[in-house]
Chains A and B, each alone.
Chain A
């Protein structure tokens, strides 16, 4: 069962902000939202995660709605190297062992 819904593909102009949406309407109170990306043929790369509050790191920002049913990953200044498949994942625990269930993700194409 898909726990998240993402658009299949998106385009973004180089230098502009890329806003990638994710719906997770059945998220439970103890589930985190994780974002990973996979650049062609490489292993997935962790980007950011959050529980309730908005989060920011050197790669991206994560905006989670107050009801936690959706979130948006923001890449503030997209570059060609950000072209990748982006996965939004909900998982029941943070620290400790947890399983990641990957969907099909959003293919982001950054256009010159």
Chain B
């Protein structure tokens, strides 16, 4: 394990409210990723970061923003949550010299 924690692990929120999910790593990996997983779909990339303050969009970035002010933290924000953003969110990290990505335990988000 790459020492990845996600918080909160579970959250229920109402439509229209802002939500921030946090990914924290202790391995000093350069790259960090946010994925979502829905029934019937594999994991889909939302945003990723290739360094502090360097981020880019993934396949399903609409409605999400990210920030990375420190190497160890990567935040995912839903500015105004919608029911379609009900999902399980996984964070992942990767070191520059490695081939594999390491995944966190996931955050289950329910938007009512």
Residues of chain A having any CB pair with chain B under 8 Å: 32, 34, 41-46, 49, 87, 94-105
B19 at interface, CB cutoff 8 A: no
Q: Dominant SS at the A interface?
A: loop
- When each residue 95-112 of chain B gets 1 if its CB lies under 8 Å from chain A and 0 otherwise, what string results? 011111111111000000
Interchain CA distance A100-B37 in the complex, whole Å: 13
B16 at interface, CB cutoff 8 A: no
Number of A-B contacts (CB under 8 A): 57
Residues of chain B having any CB pair with chain A under 8 Å: 4, 30-31, 33, 35, 40-45, 48, 50, 58-59, 90, 92, 94, 96-106
Residues of A within 8 A of B101 (CB): 44, 46, 100
* Nearest residue, chain A, Cβ from B45: A99
* Nearest residue, chain B, Cβ from A46: B100
Contact of B106 among A43, A97, A100 (CB under 8 A): A43
Interchain CA distance A45-B30 in the complex, whole Å: 19
Contact of B42 among A94, A95, A103 (CB under 8 A): A103
Residues of A within 8 A of B40 (CB): 104
10 new A-B contacts, CB < 8 A, other than A41-B106, A102-B44, are A34-B99, A34-B100, A43-B92, A43-B103, A43-B104, A43-B105, A97-B30, A99-B45, A101-B45, A104-B40
* Nearest residue, chain B, Cβ from A44: B103
B99 A94 Cβ-Cβ under 8 A: yes
Residues of B within 8 A of A96 (CB): 96
A104 B42 Cβ-Cβ under 8 A: yes
Contact of A49 among B31, B92, B99 (CB under 8 A): B99
